[in-house]
Amino acid sequence: MRSRSRRSSGQNDALVLSLLKAADRPVSAYDIVDLASRSGTRLVANQVYRTIARLIGQRMVKRIETLNAYVSAGTGADLCLVCSRCRGVDLVEAPALIRSLRQSIMDARFDHAGGLVEVSGLCADCRPPGVGEPESESAQNAGFVRGSTH
Ligand SMILES: [Zn+2]
């Protein structure tokens, strides 16, 4: 039996996009099903996948392969920093990197499927204090002494 739902694909697009925008973390397709039902709309996973595919085609949504999840992304960001602890992501623009990457991909005669370049690691909130901060390099070289007030 066909669903009696009369929601148009445009309504589904708007709903899914608003749920992604409201989330402060990447969300999976099943998270979206869950969030939609909590907001009073019944969506099945297939509808969510179709909707997401449309939104990715319109460059409104990006898929984070590392997390198997999605974020709303109206920007031209191509580089995605993924925190392996809190699953937070930071989308950044890296035009020089992308130009160089495209050239390498073309040189390899590879058919690029698109998508983000993803880098895993720890975000500023999750990494131990002092790690990864450029100004702390000399402190690290000196051992654990850092931030002394003397
Ligand atoms: Zn984190």
Q: Is the pTM of this model over 0.85?
A: no
> Ligand 1 center to residue 128 CA distance, Å?
11
**Residues 92, 77: contact at Cβ < 8 Å?**
yes
> Ligand 1 center to residue 82 CA distance, Å?
8
pLDDT given for residue 111 in this prediction: 86
Residue 116 or residue 136, greater confidence: 116
> Ligand 1 center to residue 85 CA distance, Å?
5
pLDDT given for residue 144 in this prediction: 45
Range among 49-58, 88-97, 125-134 rated most confident: 49-58
**Lookup: tokens for 18:** 């608003």
Residue 106 CA to its chain's centroid (Å): 25
d(CA 36, CA 84): 26
Domains of the chain: 9-127 (3.30.1490.190)
Tally: H helices and E strands in the chain? 5, 5
Strand partners, 80: 91, 118
d(CA 65, CA 148): 42
pLDDT in tens, 2-44: 555 567 888 999 999 999 999 878 999 999 999 999 999 999 9
